Amino acid sequence: MTSTGSLPPSVPRSPQAEPGRVIISAVARHTDKSTSRFREPPDPRFWRLNRSIDFDRHLAPYDVAQSRAHAKALNRIGVIADDEIKVIDEGLAAIAGELEAGEFAFEPGDEDIHMAVERRLGELIGELAGKLHTGRSRNDQVATDICMAVMDAANGAGERIAAAMRELLRLADAHKDWTMPGYTHLQRAQPVYLGHHLLSWFWMLSRDFDRFAAARRAAAVMPLGAGALAGVNWEIDRRAVAADLGFDSVTVNSLDSTSNRDMVLDYLSAGSICLTHLSRIGSELVIWSSTEFSFCQLSEPFTSGSSIMPQKQNPDSAELLRAKAPRVIGDFTTLLGVLHALPLTYGKDMQEDKEPFFDAVETVEGTLEMTAGIFEGIEFDRERLQAAAGDEMLAATEIADLLVRRGVPFREAHGIVGDLVRQCVAEGRNLSDLNREELAERSAELDDEYYEVLKQGSWLESKRSEGGTSSASLAAQIELAKARLAEIA
Short-list 150, 219, 170, CA closest to 364: 150
Closest C-alpha to 302, from 320, 287, 284, 290 = 320
- Considering the domain architecture, whether residues 76 and 182 belong to the same structural domain is answered as no
Q: Quote the pLDDT of residue 36.
A: 67
Asked if residue 13 is part of any domain, the answer here is: no
Same domain, 62 and 188: no
Q: What is the pLDDT of residue 272?
A: 98
Peptide bond into 251 cis (omega under 30): no
Q: Flag whether 168 is in a domain.
A: yes
Q: List, in sequence order, the alpha helices (H) in 175-193.
A: none
- On whether both 148 and 270 belong to a single domain, the answer is yes
Measure the CA–CA gap between 57 and 9, rounded to whole angstroms: 9
Distance CA 426, CA 14 (A): 73
471 included as an active-site residue: no
CATH label of the domain that carries residue 322 = 1.20.200.10
DSSP string, 413-466: HHHHHHHHHHHHHHHT--GGGS-HHHHHHH-TT--THHHHHTSHHHHHHT--ST
Residue 185 falls in the annotated catalytic set: yes
What are the two backbone dihedrals, phi and then psi, of residue 343, each rounded to the nearest 5 degrees? -70, 155
| Maximum separation of any 2 CA atoms in the chain, in Å | 105
Verify that 167 and 65 share a domain, yes or no: no
What CATH number is attached to the domain comprising 101? 1.10.275.10
Residue 1 domain-assigned (yes or no):
no
Are 360 and 438 members of one domain? no
Eight-class DSSP state of 38 = -
Distance (Å) of CA 270 to CA 186, 249, 332, 397 = 27, 22, 10, 37
Q: Is residue 6 part of a domain?
A: no
Q: Check whether residue 148 and residue 248 sit in a common domain.
A: yes
Residue 33 is predicted with a pLDDT of 44
Catalytic residue (choose from 185, 307, 340, 465): 185
The verdict on 174 and 155 lying in the same domain is yes
User: Do 168 and 312 belong together in one domain?
Assistant: yes
Per-residue pLDDT of the chain (489 residues; tens, 9 = 90+): 444 456 554 443 333 334 333 333 443 444 344 446 778 888 888 878 878 888 889 999 999 999 999 999 999 999 999 999 999 999 999 999 999 999 999 998 888 999 999 999 999 999 999 999 999 999 999 999 999 999 999 999 999 999 999 999 999 999 999 999 999 999 998 899 999 999 999 999 999 999 999 999 999 999 999 999 999 999 999 999 999 999 999 999 999 999 999 999 999 999 999 999 999 999 999 999 999 999 999 999 998 876 677 666 899 999 999 999 999 999 999 999 999 999 999 999 999 999 999 999 999 999 999 999 999 999 999 999 999 988 888 788 888 988 998 999 999 999 999 999 999 999 999 888 999 998 988 898 898 888 888 876 667 787 788 999 999 999 999 999 999 999 998
Q: Which of 36, 290, 306, 458 is catalytic?
A: 306
Provide the phi-psi class of 469: left if phi over 0, else alpha when psi is between -120 and 50, else beta: alpha
In a domain, 273, yes or no: yes
Task: Find, among 150, 115, 136, the residue nearest to 260 by Cα.
Answer: 150
Q: Domain check: are 178 and 279 in the same one?
A: yes
pLDDT at 55: 83
Query: Is 14 inside any structural domain?
Result: no
Quick one: pLDDT at residue 331? 98
Burial of 194 (0-12, 13-18, 19+ CB in 10 A): buried
**155 and 461 in contact (C-beta within 8 Å)?**
no
Look up residue 187 and give its amino acid: Q
Number of H helices, E strands in the chain: 20, 6
Query: What type of residue sits at position 184?
Result: T
Tell which of 343, 361, 387 closes a domain.
Answer: 387
Residue 51: per-residue pLDDT:
80
Which H or E element spans position 183? strand 179-184
Bridge-based pairing of strands 249-250 and 296-297 is unpaired
Boundary of a domain, candidates 387, 405, 432:
387
Mean pLDDT score across all residues of the chain: 90
478: Cα separation from own chain's centroid: 24
Q: What CATH number is given to the structural domain containing 397?
A: 1.10.40.30
Do 151 and 272 lie in a common domain? Answer: yes
Do 28 and 154 belong together in one domain?
Answer: no
Containing structural domain, residue 459: 390-488
Report the number of distinct structural domains present in the chain. 3
Is 127 a domain residue? yes
Q: Do both 50 and 68 map to the same domain?
A: yes
User: Under a CB-based contact definition with an 8 Å cutoff, are residues 390 and 430 in contact?
Assistant: no
Report the amino acid identity of residue 347. Answer: G
- 270 lies in some domain: yes
Running DSSP on this structure, what letter comes out for residue 82? Answer: H
Q: Are 162 and 145 in contact (CB under 8 A)?
A: no
3-state secondary structure 354-408: HHHHHHHHHHHHHHHHHHHHHHHHCEECHHHHHHHHCCHHHHHHHHHHHHHHCCC
Closest CA to 357 of 274, 259, 265: 265
Q: Where a domain ends, among 358, 387, 416?
A: 387
